[in-house]
Each structure stands twice: as structure tokens, then as C-alpha cells.
Chain A
Amino acid sequence: MSEAKPFRPSVDAATFEVVKNSLYSAAEEMKVVLAKTAYSPILKVAGDYSCGIFDAAGAMVAQGPDLPIHLGSMPDSVKAVVQAWPDPAPGDVFIHNDPYFGGSHLPDVNVVTPAFDDAGGLLGYACVRAHWPDIGGGTPGSYGAATDIYGEGLRLPPVRLMIAGEINPDIDAVIFANVRTPEERRGDLRAQVAANRRGAERLAVLARKHGGDVLRGIMADVMDYSEAMMRQALARLADGEGRFEELMDGDGVLDDEEGNDAPIRVRIRVEKQGDELLVDFAGSDPQTQGPMNAPLAVTASGVFTSVKMLADPANVIPPNSGCWRPVTVTAPPGCVMHATLPASVVYANHEVGHRASDMFFAAMAEIAPDSVMACSQGTSAILTLGGNDYRTGQGYVSYETLKGGFGARPTKDGINALASGIANTMNTPIEVLEMSFPVRVEAYELIPDSGGAGRFRGGLGTRRITRVLGSDAAASVCCERTLAAPFGLAGGGAGAAAEIVLLDPNGGETRLNSKGPFTAMAGARVVYSAPGSGGYGPAAERDPAALRDDLRDGYVTAEGVRAAYGIEPPAIDE
């Protein structure tokens, strides 16, 4: 165990504070440029991207208020560029998405722009990772159950998108020959490049004001500062060891004649000693045929998210690479938590990310029961639709996530319908969605009784009914927790599992597997129920007044009270 280094910045405290905040504000400004100018709904309204400022070695100095799943793995994307292009020049812009060389899954496209001071010295990098709604492959949306990385779509190692400030036409041609709806992708890519330019400019301005070397020193300080704070926070927790294991739903590739998708076992072991944490996934199942295999950086990202919430619940430590120095995440190569070439990966990014995040809390419940939360929704609950828009005659690809519950805490209920853990995308307003795509949302509502019972109730999941209009759509779903419902902690009950039902226009009704492609006929409805979250503490200890309120508001039903709380429902009045 290493001693916590006392933190002392290389400049005076006021300058450190100002420049540190300027670095975070630069990342936030990148976010503004991206969100406000991108074209596809998943970026412009849902916010499935992250922006960051990195040092010359590729370590993350400042992350925008974006998506936790990207946090832990984005440094690898910049390091891949550093490795492939060790001597960048002003005007270079790099692009890549290779999960086996700094990426997470193919739809997450990284654009990396070096920043220079006025003397031409490299200061660091700006990077935007953005989820493209399509990156090629067999299924619109690139969410098919391919059985190797080659089938998942266009795989780009770090290459130069721009040279001397001009688009590199060779790379440009390759990219846009491989993706669906290229016009929309072009708009998104322009926004990514512009966001990076803004970040790089902000670094250059800071260097001009404070000096390039001073700025480089402060960038190192910011990470040391986060590390020192994280070590102090970890040191305050009890030492100990914790374990947890459970099943994931499947990988989207059918395993028997009946159409069943075999579940996947995951094991976690956590060891907390002093100011350090070891997290190991040894004993998890070998990598699967379908794309439920996580690059180790993705697994680690899931863990880091929960470490931050557990050790720094008030969120005062700036998130950057320094935070994770005291945390070691391991998994044997070739297992679902540490994919090796040529395993397919697309689902794992969020689904395994969520799982690592939730399971970390379960394992830590033995060590720090007052600092954990019950299992949240545990899935990004994705529906992709693609086809031809009957209104315009043009192709479309739609990608939507659905929110479930945020887990119950040791002192509080969970939260209904809120992005949890590694995810933090926004829903697309129904009015924007339907103007953009040939669908009609027929309901979007909370699911009664879906929050796990407990002294503190789990948050409710949501149900959305989406009708496909005009012509058939090539659809796919990617969901977890349809089999293993979100667990409760400290005696709390599980949240309701997810469920996806396809109602075809002729009256047929099919319960879909958690993952994989299907055809949604014109007029068909997809009834998608995202999971609730687990409860905390025994149901018998629930405050009767809180239960009455829940009943009055229909968060629980009379039958739900009987089944989950084992009592006759109390009388309610307004």
C-alpha cells in the first residue's frame, strides 16, 4: 500500500483553482458546442457523448459533466492516438473506434485533437467520444448480435481525419461508404471536430496567459489533487473483503432449439486495504459468441463509477485519471469482463458496464453497508429501429434508451425513472422523436409495483409503447435484467425485471429475448418495460405513512402491498 502524497500545487492556490476550473469549463464548453450543433437525436437531445481534456501522455485531466461509462475508458482512446501518432502536428485531427485499440464499442467514435502552445509545444489533447446511431454492420443501428468484431461494423484504428486543418479525403471516403444515413453522420462529425477545436483553443489561451510549462504543471497537479482526495476518502472506509455473483441474461445468440439465450455468470471480489482498492472478476464466464464481451477498460469504467459514488458521495473530487490511481481492476483475459480479439463487444459497453457498477456495490455491502445502494435498473434498455420514413422517402435509424429505477439507499428510497450508474443520457422528447422518425409513442409512464419493497423502496421503472408507422422496420433490442431482477440489499426486495413484448398488427404477441434483432411490421407495437430498482432493508420496516402515500399515488397497488409487504393495504384518503 502506498502512502498518500500530501497535495501541493506547483503554483499558488488561487491560480491553481482558477486554471483547474477553466479546464473543467473548457470540457463543458466542448459539450455545449457538440450538443447544440450535432444532428442525430442520440447526441443532440439524448447526450450520448463525453468531452474531455487530456495531457500529452493521454491521461484525463478534466471531464465534462457527461457519461460515467466513458470516464474510465476515454484515457485509453487518447493513449492509442499517442501511441499510433507520437509526433502530432498542428492541424491534425485523429479518429478511431477500435475496442481493441483504445475504443469501447464500434458506435462510440473518438475524435482526438492535439492542442499546442504558441511556440508549437504540445499541451495535450481534446477528445470527444460520441455514440453514432449507425457504424455499419448487418443491422441498422449496428446493434445486431454479431459473433465477432468484424461483423459489428466499420472498425477504425487511430487514423488522421484531418491533416493541416483539411479533411483527409481517403479516410472520409471510407467512413461515409460504410455508415447508414451519411448526411446525418457528417453533421455529427462536424460537431465533434468543432467541439475539439474549442477545447484545444481554450488550452492554447490558458497557455498564453500562464505559460505553457505552467499549464502543463497545473494539468499534472489537477490529477494529483484528485488522487490525494480519493486516497483520503478510501482511507476513511473500513478495510475488508467482499464478494458477489449473479447471472446476466444472455448474449443475443440463441443457444438451443427453443430459442433460449443461455445466461452468463459473473463473479466479483473486492478487497479494500488502507487507501487502495482491488477489484477482480476472476471466475466470470468465458467470453461469449454474442457481443456481451467487455474490453477491460469498459469493466473498469463501470467499477470507477460506483467507487466515486461510494467514496465521494457528495461528489467533491474532480473526476479525472488521478481519481482511479488507487483502484486496480483486473479480470482474466478471455472472460466476458475482459474481451480479447476477435470477440464481439457492442452490447457489453453499457450492459456489462452497468453490471460491474451494480455488483461493486453488492460486494462492498459487506464492508461499507451505509455507503452502498441497492441494484439500479442495470441496463440501458435500448430499442433501435431502422427503415424508410414514409413521409420523406429517406432512410432513418432511431436509437432510444429507456430509464428504470435508481436503487434504494441506506437512508432513502430509490428514485423513479432516473438514469443510474454508468448511464446519464436524456430521453428524446416525444414531439422531437416523432417529428424525426416514423413512429408514434402511445404511452410513456411509470410501472406500478416495479420498485423493490423495503424499508426504503426501490425506484419505479417505466413502460413505453412505440408503434412503427408506414413501413416495416428492422429493429433490435439490447436489455438486461429480464431474468435476474435488480437485487435489493440489507433484506430489501428485488425490483421488477425488464420485459419486452412485440404486438404485431394482426394480434400476435411475442415476448422477446433480452437482445437481438427482429422485424417490426408497419403498425406493430413494441411494449418495452424497463426494470425497477431494488429496495433497501426489510419490507416489514417500511414507514406506514410512506406506504399509504405510495398507495394513494399508485406507485404500489393494493395487490402489490399484499404480495410484497405481506399486509392488507391501509386505507387512504386525500
Chain B
Amino acid sequence: MGWRIGVDIGGTFTDVALVEEGGGRIAIAKVSTTPRDLAAGVMTAIETALAQNAIAPDAISFLSHATTVVTNALLESKGARTALISTRGFRDLLELRRSARSDLYDLFQDPPDVLVPRHRRLEITERLDAQGEVVTPLAEDEIDDIVAALRAAEVEAVAVSFLYSFLNGDHEARVAARLRAELPDVPIFVSSEVLPEIREFERASTTAVCAYVGPILASYLERIAEAVDALGLPGLRVMASSGGVLEVAEVLRMPAMAVESGPAAGVVAAAAVGRQLGERNLLSFDMGGTTAKASLIEDGAIETTSEYEVGGEGNASRWLHGTGHPIRVPVIDLAEVSAGGGSIAWIDPGGALKVGPRSAGAEPGPVCYGAGGTEPTVTDPGHLLGGGLAVDIEAARSAIAGKLAEPLGLSVEEAALGIINVVNNAMAEALRIVSVARGHDAREFALIAFGGAGPVHAAALAAELEVPRVIVPPIAGGFSALGLVATDLRRDYARTFYARLSGLDRPALAAGFAEMEAAARAMLAATGIEPTRWRIERQADLRYPRQAYELTVALPEGEISDPALAALAGEFHAKHKATYGHSNPEEDVQMVNIRLSAIGALDSIDVGAPGGGIERLGRRTLVFPGSGAVEAEIARRESLGPGESVAGPAVLQALDCTTVVPPGWRAEADRQGFVMMERE
């Protein structure tokens, strides 16, 4: 049996999870993220993990990676210098968006930024009609000028997105071919290849996101892939936003699929653990150095959305459009706040104590790590409140005193508690957004807390939301990395197939699916996964002809026959009725998109790391909200054996993270090394 290895890069730490197939042994390694050279950091992390655990590269059977490169490039506006080429008259599509504002009443709201500034938005004369027929032929003689303009602007990537290219990609393909010939070093992303789906803004936006992040992602992944090959490791795979993993070449065809790759891994890990523990309803809470993410797993299922806007603030609510860049790919539904262990605490001009969104990140990091940080962060009250890994307690204390306590006229303890209260409030909001704000009663869920800072705050958050139980998994600090190796290989394909079910061109539909299936099978064959483990799932997006939104309905295997289509229509009417409370079975059904998912199943894995015999490390005076200074028990977390428990106030220390057990709570380990915290 081989080992699987997952590498999850975060803003502060890079985590590596190693899991033995069949054996259930797990190990983790944690190294500081190196923002200046992320790819080198990933390789260091892998090599460190292998060396620490004395595992040879040839014992590795599977390697996957969650990248932050795409999300960071968008959040920090550090993507490629991108140009957009549009149908004449439509250069402003990306800026005109859908025209609704995301916040009805925010007087000082900012417009969403546009990935392609107006001076790099070019037009070409061409036009198709709503049937995909040519109205205005492509003015090929304009391409020379476009090439000259692209050269003059020194663009690094180009997005080409014309009206109706999802019906007829010929004009786009001709422009792309010329550009690829004239500008061989510039990647060209074409909307009819990236996302052949109706709605010009969303298609152009998805294409522009791909172009904007493509070059950065390519150089990053290609460097890692080469180094991985040189080490003799298996081919690199990347976690997609949908929660499945992909080969590098596939990701680079559609880089938008790699957004929120790390957060997706965390939710996948939470769901996997939920299955293992029999916990069907979970709030997953992942707090790292820079951000915290909340997601909801109901009855074992992860929710995905195809209305995601990357780089925006609106994903907290499914109906907040207009703060980021829409991408039409499946993305795990998350609420995210810019607050993590490295978030800097500061005083605003009004005299209020604020935390984040600025983060000390990995370099210089929190003051207490002694790596040159001078501004107090969320981690710095740790010596007072139970956080771990502190090496320079005095520096942390004096930073809190000088930057916060003295200006605010507070004691150091009060200022430290203030940081914790502010940050807990922001976290609780993220958890509320995915639960209470959507009408779920948090009291019916268990909170699974992970990430380097998650278990520090989990019990306090659970108390705030009245969540009865907190689960801290065995390798909480590197838990997301575990999701990378506890998933299946998955690629989702889609294209528009616009037809009424009555009188649908069956051979054309079969051909549409066959083309996607051929691509899917080639993709799966390249992975080396045995064909017996392949699964191909077909679906269709259907609606009533005059509606605007589709429901996705499964189309079972087999020939596309009249009975199959009738069954599909029946499924649609039933699903419409179940979802919206009404249906109209007499009406014809409109097919809009067809979808195909290719899944290469991997063995599921169990995690567990039971300890034995509580190793007590002493007692310390700590401060808790509401309790003041109290004596707390300090114990080594891994030493908690099955059924052994520690009463709060207590702190469980581990290499990867610290679990805080507040007064009135009890932490108990189960057979597999999970720590369950409940109020006594």
C-alpha cells in the first residue's frame, strides 16, 4: 500500500498531509509559506514531510495540491496584463456587468473592479444572430491592427469573447488562430472553448478570469510539476473549486476551476470525516493565518453554486450579485471573512479596536513568532489566552501594550481580550451566514474546527451560536490537506445545447455527449486510474421554454431514445414541483446545457491517531472572556487516549495547532483521536 500526499498552501503555513492507503496511518508536516516563491515553498514542504516521516518518493501513490495562486492573483489584482477582444459595440461588457448593485443602501459602496481596463478592451467588426448565423462577417483585415495594439500594450494574456460564440465558435476560432500565430508567447483564452454557454457577460467574465490568472498559474504549476517529476513522485493533481482533483493540463485549460481550491479541500475533508463519524449535519470552520471560512454540510452533502463571483464579497448570500468576477464553474458554497491568526489588530480613527483585513502573513508573521513582526496580531494574545507556538512572549506583550493597550487606556489583558472578542465576532458572522441566515438552526449542527487557528476559537464560537458540540480532528492544523487525498478525481464538462425536448435532434444530442465523453475518457486514461473505477455521469439543464433558470436533471446511461427523453421530462416536472412547489406537465421542456462529469474513484480513507495516557505539561494563568484570569491545565493533545477527557479551563497543545477548552467545557478523545468538546 502506498501513501497519498496532499499539499495545502495557506497564507501563513503550507501543510502537508500523508495518509497510508488501507493502513489509516497519517502524518503531517507544516512549514512556513514563502510568499516570494510559492512553488519553491511547496517543494520544500513535500521534501520536509517525506524526510520527517522517512517515506521514500517511490512509496507515494498519489499527490495533490490546493493552490491559492488564482484566488490571490484576483484579490491582490496581481494577474496578467490582460486584453479583451469583443464584438464591435460591446467592449464595455465586463464593466456594464448585470447593472444591479449588490447593496441597496450602502452610500459609499465601491464598484467592482474590472479585470481588463478600458484602454485594453478592443473591438472587431463581426456579428452573429440569435441562431448563430452570420449577420456581419468577421473583418479579418482588422486583426493586424489588433495585433499591433496588443504588442504595443505589452499584453500577457488575451480573452476573446464574441456574442453567440456558444452557438458558432467560428469567428472566435479564426481570431484566436491568427493571434496564436502572431503572438506565440501570449496565451489566448477563447470563450467558446472555455465556457460555451449562453449569457455574454458571464461567459466573457469567466474567459477574462482565465486569461488574467492563466499565465501565473501556468508558470507556478509547471515549475512544481517539473520538480515533482525530478523527485520521482507521481503526477501532480490540483484540487478544483468543485471539490474534485484534476491533472495540471486540465486545470490550465480552464484556470478559473482552481479558485477556492484550498477552502474546497477543507470542506471535502470535513464531509469525509462526517461520514466516518456518522455526523450528517456539520458546520465546517476553517481558520488559517489570513482568512476564516465557514461552510455547511447538511445531511452529508456539500453544497456547490454556479453563481460564484471570485474576488467579491457577495458570496455570503446567493442573491448578492455584483461584487466580484462571475465564473460559471461549480464552486463549493462558502462564507469567508478576512480574519485569521495573522490578522493585524489596530485602532481606527474613531478609536475603535479593529482586526484585519491586513495580515502579517508568514513573513514577518505574528510578533510572538520572533521573526521580525512588530504589529500585534490575533495570535499574539496567545500567551495570555492559550494560543501555541509562541517563542517571544515578551515581544508580543510589549507590542500589545504599545500599539493597543496604552493608546486605548486598557491593561494588556483587556486589550488582548478585546482582540479576541472582535475577531470572534467576525467569525461568528461567517458561521451565521451559512447557517442561521439561511434558516438553519445552528443548534442542530456540530461544529468541526480546523486550520491552525480554528480550534483556538471554536468553543467560544460554539457558545456564541449555541452549537452544542465541537469536533477537533486529529490533524486539525493540516486538515484541509487531508481533503486533498480523501476525494475523487473529477472533471465537469458543459456546453449549451439549446433545443425543445419535443422534436429534439437526437443524433446531435448524442454527438454532443459523445464529444464530451471522449474528452473525459482521454482525461481519465491519462490519470492511470483503472477503467473499472471510472464513472461518467450525464446531466441536462432544463427549464420551461420561457423561464430563465434551469434545473439540472440526471440523464441515465443508455441510448437517447424517446422513452429516455420522456423520462427526462418527467424527472424535470417532478423536480420543478419539489423545488418550487409547482409544475406544468402539459408544457414542453427546453434543454439549455448538457453536462458530463468524469469521476475516477479513489479508495476512501479513514483517519485516526489514537493516543494513550494524558501527558500533563503543567498549569498556567490564562484569561478567558467572562471568566477573567484562571488557572488552566495544559496537556499534550496527542496524548489523550480513547475516552480520556480534560475539563476546562484547559489548553491542548499539539504541533499543528492549539485547542482551547474554556471554563465549563470538557474535551474528550474518541477511539480515532478526534477530540469532542461539549459544555458540561
Interfacial residues, chain A to chain B (CB-CB below 8 A): 14, 17-18, 21-22, 24-26, 28-29, 31-33, 35-41, 44-45, 47, 64-65, 68, 183-184, 187, 190-191, 193-194, 197-198, 202, 305, 308-310, 312-315, 319, 371, 373, 403, 406, 409, 411-412, 415-420, 424-427, 429-432, 434-435, 440-446, 462, 465, 552-555, 574
Which residues between 91 and 135 of chain B lie within 8 Å of chain A, taking CB atoms? 91-93, 95-101, 103-111, 117-119, 127, 129-130, 135
- Evaluate contact between A319 and B96: CB separation under 8 angstroms: no
Report the minimum CB–CB distance from A430 to chain B (whole Å). 6
**Cross-chain contact of B548 among A45, A312, A443, A462 (Cβ < 8 A):** A45
- Evaluate contact between B129 and A434: CB separation under 8 angstroms: yes
3 smallest beta-carbon distances between A and B, as pairs: A443-B89, A44-B548, A39-B546
B581 within 8 A of A: yes
User: A443-B89, A443-B90 given as contacts; is B584 within 8 A of A190 (CB)?
Assistant: yes
B654 within 8 A of A: no
Query: How distant is the Cα of A412 from the Cα of B108 in the complex, in angstroms?
Result: 7
B198 within 8 A of A: yes
Query: How distant is the Cα of A413 from the Cα of B549 in the complex, in angstroms?
Result: 35
- Evaluate contact between B107 and A419: CB separation under 8 angstroms: no
- Evaluate contact between A315 and B581: CB separation under 8 angstroms: no
Query: How distant is the Cα of A14 from the Cα of B443 in the complex, in angstroms?
Result: 11
- Evaluate contact between A25 and B104: CB separation under 8 angstroms: no
Could you say which of B360-368, B430-438, B500-508, B670-678 contacts chain A?
Answer: B430-438
Most chain A CB within 10 A, of B92, B95, B318, B442, is at B92
B665 within 8 A of A: no
Report the minimum CB–CB distance from B436 to chain A (whole Å). 5
Residues of B within 8 A of A443 (CB): 88-90
A-B contact pairs, 28 of them (CB 8 A): A25-B438, A32-B319, A33-B581, A38-B548, A44-B549, A65-B317, A187-B584, A194-B580, A194-B581, A309-B105, A312-B105, A313-B106, A314-B106, A314-B108, A415-B111, A416-B111, A418-B101, A418-B111, A424-B100, A430-B163, A431-B130, A431-B198, A434-B129, A445-B89, A445-B90, A465-B89, A552-B119, A553-B118
- Evaluate contact between B117 and A68: CB separation under 8 angstroms: no
B582 within 8 A of A: yes
Residues of A within 8 A of B432 (CB): 17, 21
Query: How distant is the Cα of A228 from the Cα of B300 in the complex, in angstroms?
Result: 41
- Evaluate contact between A193 and B582: CB separation under 8 angstroms: yes
- Evaluate contact between B544 and A39: CB separation under 8 angstroms: yes
User: A424-B101, A553-B118, A574-B119 given as contacts; is B95 within 8 A of A14 (CB)?
Assistant: no
B595 within 8 A of A: no
Query: How distant is the Cα of A550 from the Cα of B118 in the complex, in angstroms?
Result: 10
- Evaluate contact between B439 and A26: CB separation under 8 angstroms: yes
Query: How distant is the Cα of A444 from the Cα of B90 in the complex, in angstroms?
Result: 6
- Evaluate contact between A427 and B436: CB separation under 8 angstroms: no
B321 within 8 A of A: yes
Given contacts A68-B105, A308-B104, 13 further A-B contacts (CB under 8 A): A14-B466, A47-B100, A187-B584, A314-B106, A319-B105, A412-B108, A415-B109, A418-B99, A419-B100, A431-B163, A432-B548, A445-B91, A445-B96
**Cross-chain contact of B89 among A22, A35, A37, A444 (Cβ < 8 A):** A444
- Evaluate contact between A431 and B200: CB separation under 8 angstroms: yes
Query: How distant is the Cα of A417 from the Cα of B111 in the complex, in angstroms?
Result: 10
Report the minimum CB–CB distance from A543 to chain B (whole Å). 16
- Evaluate contact between B581 and A198: CB separation under 8 angstroms: yes
Q: Which residue of A lies closest to B438 (CB)?
A: A25
Residues of B within 8 A of A65 (CB): 104, 317, 319-320
**Cross-chain contact of A187 among B200, B544, B581 (Cβ < 8 A):** B544
Report the minimum CB–CB distance from A5 to chain B (whole Å). 23
Residues of A within 8 A of B202 (CB): 429
Q: Which residue of A lies closest to B199 (CB)?
A: A429
User: A312-B105, A424-B101, A442-B89 given as contacts; is B547 within 8 A of A37 (CB)?
Assistant: yes
- Evaluate contact between A445 and B108: CB separation under 8 angstroms: no
Residues of A within 8 A of B130 (CB): 431, 434-435
Q: Which residue of B lies closest to A417 (CB)?
A: B96
Query: How distant is the Cα of A80 from the Cα of B129 in the complex, in angstroms?
Result: 47
- Evaluate contact between A406 and B580: CB separation under 8 angstroms: no
Residues of A within 8 A of B135 (CB): 440
Residues of A within 8 A of B580 (CB): 33, 36-37, 191, 194, 198
Report the minimum CB–CB distance from B104 to chain A (whole Å). 6
User: A65-B320, A416-B111 given as contacts; is B547 within 8 A of A202 (CB)?
Assistant: no
Which residues between 73 and 93 of chain B lie within 8 Å of chain A, taking CB atoms? 88-93
User: A37-B576, A39-B546, A555-B118 given as contacts; is B100 within 8 A of A425 (CB)?
Assistant: yes
Report the minimum CB–CB distance from B284 to chain A (whole Å). 20
Query: How distant is the Cα of A422 from the Cα of B549 in the complex, in angstroms?
Result: 26
- Evaluate contact between B582 and A202: CB separation under 8 angstroms: no
Residues of A within 8 A of B98 (CB): 426-427
**Cross-chain contact of B129 among A26, A36, A440 (Cβ < 8 A):** A440
Most chain A CB within 10 A, of B99, B119, B127, B200, is at B99
Q: Which residue of B lies closest to A415 (CB)?
A: B111
**Cross-chain contact of B547 among A28, A39, A406, A555 (Cβ < 8 A):** A39
Most chain A CB within 10 A, of B118, B152, B544, is at B118
Which residues between 655 and 677 of chain B lie within 8 Å of chain A, taking CB atoms? none
- Evaluate contact between B105 and A462: CB separation under 8 angstroms: no
Query: How distant is the Cα of A246 from the Cα of B544 in the complex, in angstroms?
Result: 47
Query: How distant is the Cα of A373 from the Cα of B106 in the complex, in angstroms?
Result: 11
- Evaluate contact between B439 and A417: CB separation under 8 angstroms: no
- Evaluate contact between A419 and B99: CB separation under 8 angstroms: yes
Query: How distant is the Cα of A68 from the Cα of B103 in the complex, in angstroms?
Result: 11
Query: How distant is the Cα of A444 from the Cα of B127 in the complex, in angstroms?
Result: 14
Residues of B within 8 A of A371 (CB): 107
User: A21-B432, A429-B200, A444-B89 given as contacts; is B549 within 8 A of A35 (CB)?
Assistant: yes
User: A47-B100, A434-B129 given as contacts; is B198 within 8 A of A17 (CB)?
Assistant: no
Residues of A within 8 A of B109 (CB): 415
Residues of B within 8 A of A555 (CB): 118
- Evaluate contact between B105 and A446: CB separation under 8 angstroms: no
Residues of B within 8 A of A31 (CB): 319
- Evaluate contact between A313 and B111: CB separation under 8 angstroms: no
- Evaluate contact between A416 and B319: CB separation under 8 angstroms: no
Report the minimum CB–CB distance from A345 to chain B (whole Å). 24
B164 within 8 A of A: yes
Query: How distant is the Cα of A554 from the Cα of B127 in the complex, in angstroms?
Result: 24
Report the minimum CB–CB distance from A545 to chain B (whole Å). 14
B617 within 8 A of A: no
Query: How distant is the Cα of A426 from the Cα of B100 in the complex, in angstroms?
Result: 5
Query: How distant is the Cα of A317 from the Cα of B89 in the complex, in angstroms?
Result: 41
User: A21-B439, A44-B548 given as contacts; is B581 within 8 A of A197 (CB)?
Assistant: yes
Most chain B CB within 10 A, of A191, A312, A443, is at A443
Residues of A within 8 A of B200 (CB): 429-431
- Evaluate contact between A462 and B96: CB separation under 8 angstroms: yes
Report the minimum CB–CB distance from B548 to chain A (whole Å). 4
B530 within 8 A of A: no
B55 within 8 A of A: no
Residues of B within 8 A of A313 (CB): 105-108
Report the minimum CB–CB distance from B354 to chain A (whole Å). 14
Query: How distant is the Cα of A424 from the Cα of B100 in the complex, in angstroms?
Result: 5
- Evaluate contact between B111 and A444: CB separation under 8 angstroms: no
Report the minimum CB–CB distance from A499 to chain B (whole Å). 18
Q: Which residue of B lies closest to A24 (CB)?
A: B437
B201 within 8 A of A: yes
Residues of B within 8 A of A427 (CB): 96, 98-99
- Evaluate contact between B439 and A25: CB separation under 8 angstroms: yes
User: A14-B466, A371-B107 given as contacts; is B118 within 8 A of A37 (CB)?
Assistant: no
Residues of A within 8 A of B438 (CB): 25
Query: How distant is the Cα of A35 from the Cα of B543 in the complex, in angstroms?
Result: 12
- Evaluate contact between A37 and B439: CB separation under 8 angstroms: no
Query: How distant is the Cα of A515 from the Cα of B76 in the complex, in angstroms?
Result: 46
Residues of B within 8 A of A440 (CB): 127, 129, 135
- Evaluate contact between B547 and A36: CB separation under 8 angstroms: yes
- Evaluate contact between B96 and A446: CB separation under 8 angstroms: yes
Report the minimum CB–CB distance from B87 to chain A (whole Å). 9
Q: Which residue of B lies closest to A31 (CB)?
A: B319
